[in-house]
Structure 1
């Protein structure tokens, strides 16, 4: 029986495309805001519908069959064409908007509270901000209509075009009550962002990097709590649940009002940065205006950590 395109098949093809581009079921689930098992079920349903396997079984990583390669190329081309047509339609109707893709923690904790300053000086530019973590190169930015992307990590995404990068020192932070109540012989709770960047080697990659620089912290028993977003780990630290790795731009206001304090002496770790990505250099028009504003704002008054007082959880090693 011939396979006919309908709404269900179109939806499953979109899941298939995201799976291949994400490189794994868990990452596809994160991008689609569904569970890993939901992605698996959609791919299995698609294979039953088309009548042939799309993925090689038993492979440790995602590998397409020959037929899977053909279907993926067709699905990507079709969805890209529809996306580009929708964007052209918006621009013809005069509804063009500067689209910013930003890692969620920076978007919610730092960028969103400052956007009024950009809008006040550029009232003719509409802005849409999307909290996202997946890697983007110029082609994927164009396909999804993203004008500027901000990503965090030790290196920019593969193939990305970087307008500038901003160093982001990180250091352990916690609520004052957690530091003051710490038992030198007790357990220390480390709060993890389990997906700090797309290619992170493990769910503890960010803390592992810090430990390689400063040694195992506090000499006691370690308990770990994992979150899929950095701002969840930050909120847990604000609530007194443990120690998070604070990114300087993000934790500066909480340091200023006393809700967070450094959890360890001499604990700065360098080497992580925010990368500001564009489709092409040099940026022009609204993109250039935003990138210029962003660079000046990020380089504004620093929120570098002060030397914490000693005692309790403030001692490392």
Structure 2
């Protein structure tokens, strides 16, 4: 049966393109994950099939012949076209699904508990979560952040504004006899230091309540969930966002140590990325509603 295209082996052409682009058999072999000898063998086979050399080989390297340059330009244009088509196909893959990125804390304490209610209302929409604590998730429809939404270039939706509470275990409160805000000045404090979110720290919290900065021992963690767990284990007091305290407050694993609370300087908001599908926007609208019966 006659082939529809008069082409050499595609594997040979791919090896040649890599070698021509790098002007190096060694670099091409690393890129193709084969040995330099294998690259050399495939290019020799291609030259034999075409009946003329594609490279001039020198002691210090290789350079393209006129025929090699002609083939390289043609292949590069073709591969660029194929790459563009593949990218378009990938971006359209399963557009009924929604991909949302969130930190471990936001996913576990706020987002995931709401998914069951969304699926009851919209059973045909699949949701995939990407857990990303660095805040740099790629290839997603939506992402949840804590900070100033005005700094985003994409469309945003405010999810909730919160209060920041001083939390600790009941045992911790009893051990240090914590009854008022001044009692927190010298007790062990857990600090949350994470690049993903601009978490309010203890000095800011005390300053917002017109109190001097605390001077007790500190224990630093870079994960909000682990910080809450450390507070449950009596290690220290922690600043907790009321909407991100999960069941810890309801169950009594953590208690509000003092009645004072600080209004959060930033909201938690949803970023709607440029690739967001109609289903992603449906989910965004649903999430930004005030109440889902939780």
| Same fold by TM-score greater than 0.5 | yes
What's the counterpart of residue 123 of structure 2? 123
For 1:88, the equivalent position in structure 2 comes to 89
Q: Provide structure 2 residue ranges, at least 5 long, that are not aligned to the other structure.
A: 1-22, 34-81, 178-182
Tell me how far 1:205 sits from its aligned partner.
Answer: 5.1
Contact 1:210–1:269 under 8 Å retained in 2? no
Residues 99, 146 of structure 1: 8 Å contact kept = yes
Q: In structure 2, what is the Cα distance between the partners aligned to 1:227 and 1:5?
A: 44
Would you say 1:181 and 2:180 are equivalent positions? no
- 1:112 and 1:275, CA in 2 relative to 1: closer, same or farther beyond 3 A? same
Q: Which residue of 27, 49, 64 corresponds with 1:4?
A: 27
Consecutive unaligned residues in structure 1, runs of 5 or more: 11-80, 303-317
Native 8 Å contact 1:162 1:278 kept in 2: yes
With over 3 angstroms needed to count, the CA separation of the structure-2 counterparts of 1:96 and 1:5, relative to structure 1, is: farther
- Does residue 288 of structure 2 align to residue 289 of structure 1? no
Matched residue count: 219
Structure-1 separation of matches of 2:207 and 2:250: 28
Superposed counterparts of 1:87-236, under 5 Å: 88-89=89-90, 91-92=92-93, 94=94, 96-135=96-135, 144-155=138-149, 157-182=151-176, 187-195=186-194, 197=196, 200=198, 206-216=201-211, 221-236=215-230
More strand by share: 2
CA distance in 1, matches of 2:142, 2:277: 11
Give the 3 Å change call, closer, same or farther, for CA 88–134 of structure 1 in structure 2.
farther
Per the TM alignment, residue 166 of structure 1 is displaced from its structure 2 partner at its CA by 2.0
User: 8 Å contact 1:172–1:245 — kept in the other structure?
Assistant: yes
State the structure with more CA Rg: 2
CA RMSD of aligned residues (A): 3.7
